[in-house]
């Protein structure tokens, strides 16, 4: 059940740019990254907002403060994440498996809820609203391996293992690539 005082808003690219600092602060806090990470990620996030099929949902408390953010876009060959995942899939499970998942997918690039606002259904509501109306065959995402609220959410809404224990270039942590067919079913 979503917290009653939370408002969910589909953000335009301009609104996203205006609230980028707030969104990145949530990202850094939720992922437990060092403070300088926000400055490093800002240009990439701004570039993402220019990609085909980009869409974004923000969650705001009753004071108008952002407490959650989710965005994604149509995944395509040539994008860094696509090429990394393709390489991992081909190596571990073969070309056919890679083609199945990467042929027509929406990349759920970022979904984060401020730790003080977690546990009230905001993450699931962000995910569902972000994916409503997406016409791609699949949705894919990557998440650090290990138990977390995010893992429980992804399993609850039907995400399956696509590739496990994958190491992205430049990050020592193992990640899981999870995916599922679209559309999502309505909540139970």
**Rounded alpha-carbon distances, angstroms, from residue 171 to 33, 36, 54, 144, 152:** 12, 16, 25, 10, 23
Going along the chain from its start, the domains and CATH numbers come out as 7-181 (3.40.630.30)
Q: Which residue has tokens 């004071």?
A: 63
User: Catalytic amino acids?
Assistant: 154
d(CA 81, CA 115): 26
The per-residue pLDDT for 188 is 64
Q: What is the mean pLDDT of each run of 10 residues along the chain (188 residues)?
A: 77 98 97 91 97 98 97 98 97 96 98 96 97 97 93 96 94 94 86
pLDDT at 3: 45
Q: Are 112 and 124 in contact (CB under 8 A)?
A: no
Report pLDDT for 1. Answer: 47
Tell me whether strands 160-166 and 138-144 are parallel, antiparallel or unpaired. Answer: unpaired
pLDDT of residue 4: 55
pTM here is: 0.94
What is the pLDDT, as a whole number, of residue 47?
97
């Amino acid at each position: 059940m979503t917290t009653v005082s939370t408002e969910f808003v589909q953000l335009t690219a301009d609104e996203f740019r205006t609230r980028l600092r707030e969104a990145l602060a949530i990202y850094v806090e939720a992922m437990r990254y060092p403070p300088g990470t926000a400055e490093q990620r800002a240009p990439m996030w701004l570039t993402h907002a220019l990609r085909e099929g980009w869409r974004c949902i923000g969650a705001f408390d009753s004071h108008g403060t952002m407490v959650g953010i989710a965005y994604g876009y149509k995944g395509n060959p040539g994008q860094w994440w696509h090429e990394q995942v393709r390489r991992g899939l081909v190596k571990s499970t073969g070309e056919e498996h890679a083609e199945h998942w990467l042929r027509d997918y929406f990349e759920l690039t970022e979904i984060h809820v401020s730790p003080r606002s977690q546990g009230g259904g905001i993450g699931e509501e962000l995910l569902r609203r972000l994916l409503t109306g997406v016409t791609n065959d699949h949705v894919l995402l990557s998440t650090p391996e290990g138990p977390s609220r995010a893992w429980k959410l992804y399993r609850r809404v039907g995400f399956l293992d696509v590739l496990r224990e994958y190491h992205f270039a430049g990050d020592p942590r193992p990640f899981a690539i999870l995916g599922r067919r679209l559309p999502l079913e309505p909540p139970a």
